[in-house]
């Protein structure tokens, strides 16, 4: 549970991102017109400043902020409890302020509430389009009839979000700004049909046909990642083996390995709650019971030092800082003599850095990818 994981320490409080800051300006006016308690929920592209502001200014409101990923969830909690002020020259740190009792900050696969009075959806113009569709539909559907959806985007010339909202209601109020645009939609009727943004596909591993479920916001939506395919082809599973899939995504590697040998124990870890939702659906579809799940963004996983093999497909962004975290996490998870196997398109960094943590390191080509491995 996220309450059991300490939030990171932050150096400063940050202003909201443009789309959330402009949304907050409009939301303040909406809140001023409310004479009764209300229920609000939504997402944030930053650290949830709009939601904290609503919760602190309206003690009669019930506010839920939710993220798909645990890392921004922790940052939002840390930001909301950041010391209100620091006195120049004072000794030590000022104590943190308490999280408002009427504010929940959650890491979940889907919006946690229904029959809401207000839903807030700030969007980035550089974000994933299908995920934006998913978020807008979920939040509009969660509103009671008469409730209000307030959405924003950091593109003052936006047309796409505006046209999408008009498929929900003909009347869409527009609040333009120089650097963003905010939309208000009042729900007059339920949606006739909800679009299913999930995808079920199948792939073959050894002699088994594996069913895989993917969703927007989860790595490699609507397809089997070629890197995952190469990783599956590079390893074998032996009876009673303990395996950990770090950054499991929708679970193609974990599901395939678990299906190969029912006596093996596979542990799938990801910081994305929706990713683990997809893995759970895959377990159900494939009749798999030897696979466990863990939501974790710290790199310190359940049963450290006990796994025979760690599998990983580290992301390529982050200037290899994330890749380094993957290596450190794998080293801590493996037993002495356990082996890390990962797939990458950038072999040079692993050739240079894996020997810092692993013995017998090797990197070899595998079609358009490279497989890197080493022993703890």
Vertex 64 angle, CA 19 and 40, to 5°: 75
Sequential pLDDT tens for the chain (376 residues): 333 445 566 668 899 999 999 999 999 999 999 999 999 999 999 999 999 999 999 999 999 999 999 999 999 999 999 876 544 444 555 677 899 999 999 999 999 999 999 999 999 999 999 999 999 999 999 999 999 999 999 999 999 999 999 999 999 999 999 999 999 999 999 999 999 999 999 999 999 999 999 999 999 999 999 999 999 999 999 999 999 999 999 999 999 999 999 999 999 999 999 999 999 999 999 999 999 999 999 999 999 999 999 999 998 877 899 999 999 999 999 999 999 999 999 999 999 999 999 999 999 999 999 999 999 9
Token code pair at residue 97? 């302020």
Please provide the distance, in angstroms rounded to a whole number, between the alpha carbons at the two ends of the chain: 29
According to the model, what pLDDT value does residue 295 have?
Answer: 98
According to the model, what pLDDT value does residue 115 have?
Answer: 98
Which DSSP helix (H) or strand (E) runs through 164? helix 160-166
Rounded Cα–Cα distance for residues 45 and 20 (Å): 7
According to the model, what pLDDT value does residue 319 have?
Answer: 82
According to the model, what pLDDT value does residue 8 have?
Answer: 65
Cα 255 to chain centroid, rounded: 20
Closest CA to 134 of 192, 215, 17, 224: 215
Distances (CA, A) of 273 to 22, 107, 111, 259, 297: 28, 6, 12, 22, 11
Closest CA to 182 of 149, 153, 148: 153
Rounded Cα–Cα distance for residues 361 and 353 (Å): 9
According to the model, what pLDDT value does residue 85 have?
Answer: 52
């Amino acid at each position: 549970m996220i309450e059991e994981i300490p939030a990171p320490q932050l150096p400063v409080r940050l202003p909201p991102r443009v789309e959330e800051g402009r949304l907050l300006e409009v939301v303040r006016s909406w809140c001023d017109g409310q004479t009764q308690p209300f229920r609000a929920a939504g997402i944030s592209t930053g650290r949830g400043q709009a939601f904290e502001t609503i919760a602190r200014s309206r003690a009669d409101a019930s506010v839920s902020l939710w993220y798909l990923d645990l890392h921004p969830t922790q940052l939002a909690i840390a930001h909301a409890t950041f010391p209100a002020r620091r006195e120049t020259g004072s000794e030590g740190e000022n104590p943190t302020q308490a999280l408002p009792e009427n504010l929940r900050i959650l890491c979940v696969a889907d919006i946690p509430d229904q029959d809401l009075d207000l839903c807030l959806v700030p969007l980035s113009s550089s974000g994933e389009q299908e995920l934006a569709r998913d978020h807008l539909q979920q939040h509009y559907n969660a509103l009671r009839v008469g409730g209000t959806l307030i959405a924003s985007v950091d593109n003052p010339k936006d047309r796409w979000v505006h046209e999408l909202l008009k498929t929900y209601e003909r009347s869409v109020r527009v609040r333009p700004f120089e650097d963003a645009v905010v939309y208000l939609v009042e729900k007059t009727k339920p949606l006739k049909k909800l679009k299913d943004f999930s995808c079920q596909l199948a792939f073959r591993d050894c002699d088994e046909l594996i069913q895989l479920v993917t969703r927007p916001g989860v790595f490699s939506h609507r397809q089997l990642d070629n890197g995952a395919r190469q990783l599956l082809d590079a390893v074998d599973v032996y009876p009673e083996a303990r395996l950990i899939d770090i950054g499991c995504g929708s679970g193609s590697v974990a599901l395939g390995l678990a299906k190969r040998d029912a006596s093996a124990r596979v542990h799938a870890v990801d910081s994305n709650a929706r990713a683990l939702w997809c893995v759970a659906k895959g377990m159900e579809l494939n009749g798999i019971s030897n696979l466990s799940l863990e939501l974790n963004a710290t790199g310190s996983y359940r049963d450290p030092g006990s796994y025979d093999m760690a599998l990983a497909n580290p992301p390529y962004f982050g200037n290899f800082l994330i890749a380094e975290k993957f290596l450190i996490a794998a080293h801590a998870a493996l037993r002495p003599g356990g082996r890390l196997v990962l797939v990458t398109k950038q072999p040079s960094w692993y050739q240079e850095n894996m020997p810092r943590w692993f013995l017998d390191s090797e990197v070899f080509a595998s079609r358009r990818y490279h497989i890197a491995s080493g022993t703890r």
